[in-house]
Structure 1
Amino acid sequence: MKDDSRIVEDVQWHEIETKKDGLGGKIKFRKKKDNYIFVKICKGVIFVLIAALSGGITGGYISSKKYSSAIESNNSSFFQSNKASTGVNNASQNPITRVAETVSQSVVGINNSNDNILDGENNYSGSGIIFKSDGYIVTNYHVIKGTSKHLVKLSNGKNSKPFNAKVIGYDSMSDLAVIKIDAPNLPAAVFGDSSKVQVGDTAIAIGNPLGDEFSGSVTAGIISAVNRNIGIQDPSTGVTTTYNLLQTDAAINPGNSGGALCNESGEVIGINSLKIGADENVEGMGFAISINEAKNIINSIMKNGRVIRPDLGIINPEDYVSEDKKTKGVFVKQVKDDAGAQESGIKANDIIVEFDSVKIQSKNELQDIVNRHKVGDSVPCKVIRNGKIIRFNIKIK
């Protein structure tokens, strides 16, 4: 017999009709198909609502985390805080206009005197860049050199008195100085990464030349060259330090010294200078100290009030080449008392032919290796003395 139990559908009791003769009843059945479909639809709607709600919460959380990470990343740098904001919709402006409106707020005018110039006189000698919102400003050392009074005029303070600034420290070799004014919540510039700058990039120079009427002056051009190495000799030691400069055809006037050289994003990529590379400052050739070079110097000034450079203690070294041109090195003319070279045993007339396991052919090569070390390092050295090779370990001071 065929089993029909598998095809019996779920039913519910509905109604019993009694026969007239009272002998029996008839049972009527109604399927639950309509209720079943309704329940399925409700479940589907609830599932969609839950999925949409959870997706929205998850998406909001991820977006919030990414936004927080972006803000954290932008504020993590010592130099990237309090970026100026103009409150103007810049979407339709060209990059130079946007940069000018933003960065010019962080560029100040600097006037110097020996207490014989009255406040308010338009006798500005240079520019500076606010890099910390509590009043720290970087400028060229030659802007403040030889003067006792330093007056700083903010870009939005044409009708207000200038601030008196105190000198935090300076470095004459790199021509950089840090000064400070007592003013809170200033618009600090954002320092970029000059290693990413390429020839042909847009260069925007901002400064305050020639007084209030020319404050926030903007010139634009391109980056003409990168990694222009200019050697500056310390007259006291004869040691030459090489600095990395950016070359631009954007006009840099005397009053622009200490001002900002920016990229299209409004990041400072260089500090305008007319002193370093001054012999080459001709029309269409301006120079700026690359910001990566400047960052290390600024940090050292902020920490120590000056730049502490590693020093061997060798005075006025000279390049050496033997008569047969087979031997090259650095000739030691004189050593400083109590310096690393003297304490290690280096003497006048020695010829340094190897330093830190690298063969040396010039004093610039020697100094480059020294600059890669820090004060306190002990570095192996090989010299020729009276025709004999002698090895030393020199402690850098």
Structure 2
Amino acid sequence: MNNKDDYKVNEEIRDALWKNADRGQDIFGEIKFRKNNKRIYFKALLKVILFMMIAALSGGITANYVISKGESQKNISGDLTQSKLEENNKAIYANSISDVIRKVSPTVVGISVKVEGVEGTPELSGSGIIFKSEGFIITNYHIIENATEINVKLSNYKVLKAKVIGTDAISDLAVIKVEASNLPVAKLGDSSKVNVGDLAIAIGNPIGEQFSGVVTSGIISALDRKINIVDKKTGEQTIYKVIQTDADINQGNSGGALCNINGEVIGVNSLKIGSASEVSGVSFAININVAKEIISDLMTYGKVIRPAIGIYGVPAISVGNNGIEGVYVQEVVSDSGADIAGIIPTDIITQVGGVGVKNMEELSNVLDKYKVAKSVHCNVQRNGKVKDVSIILSELKATNEP
């Protein structure tokens, strides 16, 4: 073979090599020409991450759209519109009062009395609350005051005679009892959990077919309201801490229940206390937590045993005593603890049991922590000198006691 032929063969071989090289193979077709693998993997990873981000973003947008669409459909259907909410709230309010009435009314009784020296048909006197199924009933003292006969009308219109278990003129509370069993019982609530603005429902059950079941409603207007009542017979002043409400308390539901939205009794209505105010829409009920303690004493002793030192006094600053704060003694009860300890009128009691006192209310609040017959230390100002006096506590007499 000549040189020209050799050159031609070599050209063909070279062309074949370039063609195979373009396909990534050598002339034997077994060895591949490799590209940069790291760069390929990095691009692939970026594509995966980008795809995942797009998918997540799309899913979030789609989910939000679905939820928003669902809520808007609810609004369109009227389930959550403002007008519908208002209608529902009104319905709940009305139904709640009805539920309370159904729950509490069977436990509220009507009370009528015969009073010594009064002839004819007894007047409608008020209401009471059954708190024990054996026939024990709490009511206002002024309802049964001076009664010679007490009749109780149950929610089923059955009338039973009642006897007095205990009375307390100071708190205007009393416990009476009828001979019965398995009576419906009111649930006494916790008045410390009551808030201003809470719904208040006053329930009474005066005697008389046409007035059977008196219900009024309103809100709690104020808590621990102090009402000063002056006894017309003795002139003694009593300060009541009561719940104020704008629910009307009248002859029918005095002595009845003031309830919360759960049907729990939070107060005992009192027309007597309410009569201290001549303002329309202002009524009062005795705090049920206070009433519970009084009921316990009435059930045990037939009266409330309150400790006293045996004085009548006024704030010292009201009579002008060189700025001395304390209780100015106006009168000392004969044979009382104060009398025996040597307390005299014009003395100023500044401390009781180590606690400063400025008036009779604060003095009484301190004494409530002690028991009758216990000794309490008092600081007394007399003629510019301080005396330390020990006083044996005696029992405070209510205005209905001799």
TM-score, length basis structure 2 = 0.69
Structure 1 distance, partners of 2:95, 2:114, is 39
| Rounded Cα–Cα distance in structure 2 between residues aligned with 1:92 and 1:368 | 39
Change (3 A) 1:189 1:282: same
Query: Aligned partners of 2:143 and 2:209: how far apart in 1?
Result: 17
Give 2:326's aligned amino acid. G
Deviation digits for residues 185-207 of structure 1, max 9, x if unmatched? 10011100001100111111110
Distance 1:347 1:325, change over 3 A: closer
Equivalent runs, 1:118-267 vs 2, <5 Å: 123-157=123-157, 160=158, 162-209=159-206, 211-232=208-229, 240-267=237-264
Residue 227 of structure 1 deviates from its aligned partner by 1.0
Distance in 1, matches of 2:286 and 2:221, equals 14
Aligned length: 301
Choose from 327, 349, 365 the match for 2:324.
327
Which amino acid is the alignment partner of residue 320 of structure 1?
A
Quote the Cα distance in structure 2 between the aligned partners of 1:106 and 1:145. Answer: 22
Measured after TM superposition, the shift of residue 281 of structure 1 is: 4.6
Check 1:233–1:377 CA distance in 2 against 1; reply closer, same or farther (3 A cut): farther
Q: Does residue 1:393 correspond to 2:390, yes or no?
A: yes
CA distance in 2, matches of 1:309, 1:388: 30
The one-letter code of the counterpart of 2:263 is G
Partner amino acid for 1:96? I
Matched, 1:311 2:308: yes
3-state SS, counterpart of residue 272 of structure 2: coil
Q: Indicate the residue corresponding to 1:110 in structure 2.
A: 111
TM-score, normalising length from structure 1?
Answer: 0.70
Amino acid across the alignment from 1:144: I
Equivalent position SS for 1:125: strand
Is 1:302 the counterpart of 2:309 in the alignment? no
Structure 1 runs (4+) deviating above 6 angstroms are 115-118, 234-239
- Counterpart in 2 of 1:275? 272
Q: Distance in 1 between matches of 2:322 and 2:341?
A: 28
Mapped to 1, the partners of 2:230 and 2:306 lie a distance apart of 13
Specify whether residues 366 and 215 from structure 1 end up closer, same or farther in structure 2 by C-alpha distance, changes over 3 A only: same
- Which of the two has greater helix per residue? 2
* 2:201–2:217 CA contact under 8 A, matched in 1: yes
Question: Residues 278 and 111 of structure 1: is their aligned pair in 2 closer, same or farther, counting only changes over 3 Å?
Answer: same
Change (3 A) 1:310 1:143: same
For 1:17-74, what per-residue CA distance to the aligned partner results, in whole angstroms no more than 9, with x for missing partners?
xxxxxxxxxxxxxxxxxxxxxxxxxxxxxxxxxxxxxxxxxxxxxxxxxxxxxxxxxx
Structure 2: unaligned runs, 5 residues or longer? 1-91, 395-402
How far residue 93 of structure 1 moved from its aligned partner, in angstroms, is 7.6
Contact 1:173–1:233 under 8 Å retained in 2: no
Deviation at 1:324, TM superposition (A): 6.9
In 2, the alpha carbon distance for the partners of 1:396 and 1:188 equals 37
Checking the alignment, whether the CA contact within 8 Å between 1:377 and 1:395 is kept in structure 2 is yes
Q: What is the letter of the counterpart of residue 213 of structure 1?
A: Q
Partner secondary structure for residue 187 of structure 2 = coil
Look up the SS of the partner of 1:282 in the other structure.
Answer: coil
Kept after mapping to 1: 8 A contact 2:166/2:299: yes
Indicate the SS of the match to 2:252. helix
Cα distance in 1 between the residues matched to 2:352 and 2:294: 25
Q: Unmatched 5+ residue regions in structure 1?
A: 1-90
Q: Percent identity?
A: 51
- Aligned counterparts of 1:194 and 1:366: Cα–Cα separation in 2: 24
Which digits, 9 at most, give the CA deviation of each residue in 1:278-324, with x for residues without a partner? 2215321111111011111111111111111111011x212213757
